[in-house]
């Protein structure tokens, strides 16, 4: 049996009405003939957008086919039993040159009923923020369906939403049901459940290249929204060198930050799951495989002990699932 190694994947580029140029100018990724790039999908099991391996002996194979071949050796036995050949997380980079729509995502129960897919809980790590950039994260107060509907009908929905000024390095956790939007001038790394279900509530009356407004999902959103004020807007975390700094712990994913300036031996023997590494600063190697700013790598579950070696300093997000 050939030993598994850290996997890298071909980037999938997505042009968006609100997309910009930072995918090229900041991350150094060439999105070809697209007018802009709003999102890159770096690791995806979404049907029709499944990632392709680009390194090592398995280059050219689709992630879904590789999971079917390696099963628990790649995902972890419990993870494979739960998710099968469907990779459970989606990793993106997002460049908002303009505000995204005000939106909400359904939870697992509603998404399964309506779309036969998982819900969408997500988190954002702010890779870069223009001066004055902000985002929307939930309501400014506890509300209810009737009050929300009144604000919406009167064109005052933005008055009910919490706007937060944002700085590089901050983290925001957004459970399914949280009304939110990414504001213009923000570039983020996003970790989310494998789902592409978005209900647009308000889109600032924008039109596309053909002069058409984008579809809204006002009624669908009502059943998805959590009308409570968030208990926490921003995730607090320590950033201690050469150790694991927990950021998010949820039923859907766990995420840590690693800031490394010397060789670090990682021991993940207590974890029966794949590990995803997102390069958010600097460069280096994970188990001998290079990773740089803006790259994403998948370490198989069967890799339990390995070395991370920075060139000078390497900053990573590490994410996995604990069932």
Q: Which residues are catalytic?
A: 200
- Tell me the sheet residues that pair with 308: 264, 286
Q: What are the phi and psi torsion angles at 257 (to 5°)?
A: -115, 135
Strands 39-43 and 89-96: what pairing?
Answer: antiparallel
- Tell me the sheet residues that pair with 125: 171, 189
d(CA 96, CA 275): 27
d(CA 11, CA 44): 10
Question: What size, in residues, is the chain?
Answer: 323
Q: What angle do CA 11, 208, 156 make, to 5 degrees?
A: 105
Q: What are the phi and psi torsion angles at 312 (to 5°)?
A: -140, -55
| DSSP element (H, E) containing 110 | helix 108-115
Nearest to 58 by CA among 10, 100, 25: 10
């Amino acid at each position: 049996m050939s030993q598994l190694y850290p996997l890298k994947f071909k980037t999938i580029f997505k042009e968006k009405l609100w997309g910009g140029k930072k995918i090229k100018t900041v991350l150094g990724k060439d999105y070809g003939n697209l007018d802009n790039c709003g999102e890159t999908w770096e690791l995806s099991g979404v049907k029709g957008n499944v990632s392709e391996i680009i390194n090592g002996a398995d280059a050219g194979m689709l992630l879904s086919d590789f999971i079917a071949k390696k099963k628990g050796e790649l995902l972890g036995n419990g993870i494979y039993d739960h998710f099968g050949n469907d990779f459970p997380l989606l990793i993106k980079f997002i460049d908002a040159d303009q505000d995204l729509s005000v939106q909400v995502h359904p939870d697992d129960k509603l998404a399964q009923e309506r779309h036969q897919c998982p819900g969408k809980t997500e988190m954002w790590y702010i890779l870069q923020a223009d001066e004055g950039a902000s985002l929307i994260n939930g309501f400014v107060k506890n509300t209810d369906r009737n009050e929300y509907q009144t604000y919406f009908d009167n064109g005052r929905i933005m008055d009910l939403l919490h706007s937060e000024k944002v700085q590089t390095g901050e983290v925001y956790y957004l459970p399914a049901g949280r009304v939110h939007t990414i504001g213009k001038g923000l570039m983020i790394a996003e970790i989310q459940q494998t789902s592409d279900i978005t209900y647009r509530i308000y889109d600032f009356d924008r039109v596309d290249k053909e002069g058409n407004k984008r579809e809204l999902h006002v009624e669908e959103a009502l059943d998805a929204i959590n009308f409570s004020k968030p208990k926490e807007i921003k995730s607090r975390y320590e950033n201690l060198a050469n150790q694991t700094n927990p950021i998010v712990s949820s039923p859907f994913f766990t995420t840590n930050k690693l800031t490394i300036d010397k060789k670090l031996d990682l021991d993940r023997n207590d974890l029966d799951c794949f590990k995803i590494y997102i390069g958010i600063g600097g460069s280096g190697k994970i188990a001998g495989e290079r990773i740089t700013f803006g790259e994403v790598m998948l370490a198989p579950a069967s890799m339990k002990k390995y070395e991370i070696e920075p060139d000078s300093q390497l900053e990573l997000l590490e994410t996995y699932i604990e069932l």
